[in-house]
């Protein structure tokens, strides 16, 4: 199932919660993306960025076990890698210098993710992956 915008893309995933990371990794995988990571901490993420030759985009949680992930965003922006935040935080909780980073509120809507990262139109969601947008998929 090809996913315009995500298929074939190398996406860095930075998320400290194991189940959230695993769910999102699975969803990205099913959408045809190559998942780099996931990384659970700032150090780990920086290490992965240094070791990975190709990165097309990144989905980054803001709070990693109590530490803010701004260093990771800095490094990605310096390398020209499109990045979005995936977080339960409100815009106002984000440091002013990072308010221009697109924010995808949790639970993450993969289509919105793809749109924010690559301007793609829509991304099919694999059946059985429970990463719905909050207003859709009632039962």
Contacting residues toward another protein, per CB under 8 A: 13, 16-19, 21-22, 25, 29, 35-44, 47-48, 64-67, 139
- Determine how β-strand 83-87 pairs with β-strand 67-68: unpaired
Q: Which residues pair with 8 in a beta bridge?
A: none
Residue number with CB closer to another protein (43 or 121): 43
> What is residue 59's three-state secondary structure?
strand
CB of 100 to another protein, least distance (A): 26
**Residue 32 or 38 having the CB closest to another protein:** 38
Complex with another protein: residue 37 or 57, whichever CB lies closer: 37
CB of 114 to another protein, least distance (A): 18
What distance in Å separates the CA atoms of residue 56 and residue 116, rounded to the nearest whole number? 13
Check if the beta carbon of residue 44 is closer than 8 Å to that of residue 16.
no
């Amino acid at each position: 199932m090809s996913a315009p915008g995500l298929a074939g893309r190398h996406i860095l995933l930075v998320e400290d919660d194991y189940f959230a990371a695993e769910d999102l990794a699975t969803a990205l995988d099913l959408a045809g993306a190559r998942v780099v990571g996931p990384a659970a901490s700032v150090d780990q993420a920086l290490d992965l960025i240094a070791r990975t030759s190709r990165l097309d985009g990144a989905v980054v949680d803001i709070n990693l076990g109590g530490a803010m992930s701004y260093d990771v965003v800095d490094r990605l922006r310096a390398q020209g890698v499109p990045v979005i935040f995936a977080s339960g935080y409100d815009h106002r909780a984000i440091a002013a210098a990072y308010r221009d980073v697109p924010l995808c509120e949790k639970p993450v809507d993969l289509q919105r993710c793809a749109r924010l990262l690559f301007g793609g139109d829509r991304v099919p969601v694999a059946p059985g992956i429970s990463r719905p947008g909050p207003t859709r998929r009632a039962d």
